[in-house]
Amino acid sequence: MEVEVSAYEDALRAFRAGADAILLDNMRPAEIMQVVNKLKGKVLLVAGGEINPSNVVEYARTGVDVISSGYITHSSRALDLSMDAERI
C-alpha cells in the first residue's frame, strides 16, 4: 500500500502504520532529505509533485528511490494525428 504525505511527521506515521511505499508529495527537497535520512532502506520512498526538468536533479540528490513527475504528461504538446483504415 502506498501512502501519500506532504509533511515529515506524516511520513513517519505512514511508516509506523505499515506502508509499503510513501509518496512525498509537494515537499521541498530539504524536507524530503530528512525523511530519507530516517527511513531509507526501510520503505520505498517516492518524490512527487511539481517536479520538472529544471528541478529534477535537486530531487534526485535527496536519495529517494523513485521520482514521479506528472510534467511528462500534462505539459507535453499534443500531436495531431489521424489514421485511415481501408478494408483489404
What letter does residue 77 receive in the DSSP assignment?
P
Q: How confident is the model at residue 76 (pLDDT cuts 50, 70, 90)?
A: low
Return contacts of 30-33, CB within 8 angstroms, 24+ apart.
31/7, 32/59, 32/62, 32/64, 33/62, 33/63
Who's near 14: CB < 8 A, 6+ residues apart?
A: 3, 5, 22
Domains plus CATH for the chain?
2-70 (3.20.20.70)
| 17-65 pLDDT, tens digit each | 999 999 999 999 999 999 999 999 999 999 999 899 999 999 999 999 9
